[in-house]
Structure 1
Amino acid sequence: MKRILSLSGAAVAATALLTSGLAGTAQAGTTVHHDKLVKPTEAQSVALYWLGDSGANLKRSTQFSGPSGNLDSASVKKVVSTGGAAASTAAGSISATSSSTTSTSKNINLPKTIGKVFFLDGDGKPRWCSATSIVSTYKNLVATAGHCVYNTAANTETMDKWVFIPGYYQGKAPWGLYVGKTAYTHYDFSVYEDYDRDYAFVTVYNGVELDSTATKTAGVANTGYSLGSTVGAQGFAWNQKTGTAHFAFGYPASAHPDGNKPYTGVTAKWAYGKTSGKTPVSSALKIDEQITLKAAFTWGADGGPWLIKYSNTKRTGYIDGVTSLVVDSDDNDRYDTLSSAYFDGETKSVYSEAAASWSGNVF
Structure 2
Amino acid sequence: MKRLLFPLAVAGLSAAALAVPASAAPTWASDNLLPKPADAYGAAAFWMDANGAALRKATQYRLDTKDVPKLVSAKTTDTTDGKPGMTGPTTTAKPAASKNVNLPKTIGKVFFQDKDGHLHWCSATSIQSQQRNLVATAGHCVFESDGKDDVYDKWVFIPGYFQGKAPFGVYVGAYAFTAYDLDTYDDYDGDFAFVAVHNGFALTGQKEVVKSEFAKWAGDKWIKHEEIKKDEYDAGFEKYGPAGPYWSKDEDVTPEKVAHNYPGEKTLTKVEVTESEYEKAAKDTAADVNGEQYEKVRTPISQETFKELQAKQGDGKWTGKLEVTKVGDVETAWFENHYYIKQWVKAGKTVRYFRDHYFIGMAKDMGRLGDVVGGQGVAWNQPLGQSVTVFGYPSAPHPDGDRPFSGVTPKWCAGKTGTKSWQVNMFRVETHQVLKCSMTGGADGGPWLMKYDNNKRTGYVNGVTSMFHDYDGNDRIDYVSSAIFDGEVADVYNKANYAKTKSIVGPNGELLK
TM-score, normalising length from structure 2?
0.62
How far off its partner does 1:100 sit? Answer: 7.3
Map 1:189-200; keep pairs closer than 5 Å. 189-200=182-193
Match of 1:149 in 2: 142
Q: For residue 18 of structure 1, what is the aligned residue in structure 2?
A: none
1:73 alignment partner in structure 2: 67
Residue of structure 1 aligned with 2:59, choices 59, 62, 70: 62
Aligned letter for 2:31?
D
Residue of structure 1 equivalent to 2:170? 177
Residues 4 and 56 of structure 1: is their aligned pair in 2 closer, same or farther, counting only changes over 3 Å? same
Post-superposition Cα deviations, 1:7-49, rounded to whole Å, max 9, x if no partner, equal xxxxxxxxxxxxxxxxxxxx98222211000022211111100
SS of residue matched to 1:267: coil
Task: Please give the alpha-carbon distance, in whole angstroms, between the structure 2 residues aligned to 1:276 and 1:152.
Answer: 28
Give yes or no for the alignment of 1:236 onto 2:378.
yes
Find the aligned partners of 1:178 and 1:111 in 2 and give their Cα distance: 17
Structure 1 residues 245 and 202, CA, compared in 2 at 3 Å: closer, same or farther?
same
Partner of residue 45, structure 1: 42
Q: TM-score, normalised by structure 1?
A: 0.87
- Counterpart for residue 337 of structure 2: none
- Are 2:32 and 1:36 equivalent residues in the alignment? yes
Distance 1:343 1:216 in 2: 45
Residue matched to 1:327: 469
2:238 corresponds to: none
- Aligned identity (percent) is 48
- For the 8 Å contact 1:178–1:205, the answer to whether it is kept is yes
1:346 aligns with 2:339: no
CA contact (8 A) 2:89 2:377 kept: yes
TM-fit CA distance, 1:261:
0.3
Deviation, structure 1 residue 3: 3.1
State whether residues 321 and 340 of structure 1, in contact with CA within 8 Å, keep that contact through their aligned partners in structure 2.
Answer: yes
Deviation, structure 1 residue 102? 10
User: Aligned partner of 2:57: which letter?
Assistant: R
In 1, Cα distance between equivalents of 2:94 and 2:176: 27
* 1:282 equivalent in structure 2: 424
Aligned to 1:21: none
Q: Contact (CA 8 Å) 1:245, 1:273: kept in 2 or not?
A: yes
Whole-Å separation in 2 of the counterparts to 1:289 and 1:124: 33
Q: Partners in 1 of 2:423 and 2:362 — Cα distance?
A: 46
Contact map agreement 1:184 1:201 (CA 8 A) in 2: yes
The AA in structure 2 aligned to 1:73 is: D
Q: How does 1:218-297 map to 2 (within 5 A)?
A: 219=361, 221-279=363-421, 281-297=423-439
Say if 1:196 and 1:289, in contact at 8 Å, map to a contact too: yes
Counterpart amino acid of residue 340 in structure 1: S
Aligned to 1:315: 457
- Contact 2:196–2:500 (CA<8 Å) still a contact in 1? yes
Question: Cα 1:288–1:90, aligned 2, differ >3 Å: closer, same or farther?
Answer: same
* Bigger Cα displacement from structure 2, 274-283 vs 221-230: 274-283
* C-alpha displacement of 1:258: 0.1
CA distance in 2 between partners of 1:222 and 1:190 (Å): 35
Q: Is 1:358 matched up with 2:352?
A: no
Instruction: For residues 248-278 of structure 1, give each alpha carbon's deviation from its aligned partner in whole angstroms, at most 9, with x where no partner exists.
Output: 0000000001000000000000100111145
**Distance (whole Å) between structure 2 residues aligned to residue 349 and residue 3 of structure 1:** 11
Partner of 1:3: 3
Q: In structure 1, what is the equivalent of residue 156 of structure 2? A: 163
How far, CA to CA, are the matches of 1:188 and 1:220 in structure 2? 42
Which residue of the partner structure matches residue 265 of structure 2? Answer: none
Residue type of the partner of 1:37? L
Instruction: Pick one of 114, 120, 126 that aligns with 1:127.
Output: 120
CA distance in 1, matches of 2:479, 2:102: 23
1:94 is aligned, of 87, 90, 112, to 87
CA offset digits 1:214-267 (Å, max 9, x no partner)? 799653524241100000000000001111110000000000010000000000
SS of the equivalent of 2:86 reads strand
Aligned positions, number? 335
Determine the C-alpha separation between the residues in 1 that align with 2:380 and 2:95. Answer: 30
The aligned counterpart of 2:13 is none
* SS at structure 2 position matched to 1:288: strand
Q: Which amino acid aligns with 1:293?
A: L
* Residues 98 and 219 (structure 1), Cα distance of their counterparts in 2 relative to 1, 3 Å cut: same
Partner residue in 1 for 2:204? 211
Instruction: Work out whether residues 4 and 188 of structure 1, in 8 Å CA contact, stay in contact via their aligned partners in 2.
Output: no
Unaligned 5+ segments in structure 1 are 6-26
- Inter-partner Cα distance in structure 1 for 2:128 and 2:424: 32
* SS of residue matched to 1:253: coil
Q: Could you list the per-position Cα deviations for residues 318-356 of structure 1 after superposition, in whole angstroms to 9, with x for gaps in the alignment?
A: 001000001111111100000000000110010011011
Taking the aligned partners of 2:95 and 2:157, their CA distance within structure 1 comes to: 20
Return the alpha-carbon distance in structure 1 between the equivalents of residues 364 and 79 of structure 2: 44
Structure 1 residues 160, 101: closer, same or farther in 2, change over 3 A? Answer: farther
Contact 1:32 1:349 (C-alpha < 8 Å) held by counterparts: yes
Q: CA deviation at 1:86?
A: 1.9
SS of the residue corresponding to residue 81 of structure 1 reads coil
Does the CA-based 8 Å contact 2:380-2:485 persist in structure 1?
yes
Residue 83 of structure 1 and its aligned partner are, at CA, apart by 2.6
Greater displacement, 191-200 / 209-218: 209-218
C-alpha distance in 2 between matches for 1:280 and 1:222: 46
Larger mean CA deviation between 224-233 and 278-287 belongs to: 278-287
RMSD: 2.3
SS of the residue aligned with 1:272?
A: strand
Distance 2:67 2:421 in 1: 15
Q: Per-residue displacement from partner, 1:83-109 (whole Å, max 9, x unpaired)?
A: 345211111111000127999xxx982
Corresponding residue SS for 1:181: strand
In 1: Cα distance, 2:149 partner to 2:197 partner: 21
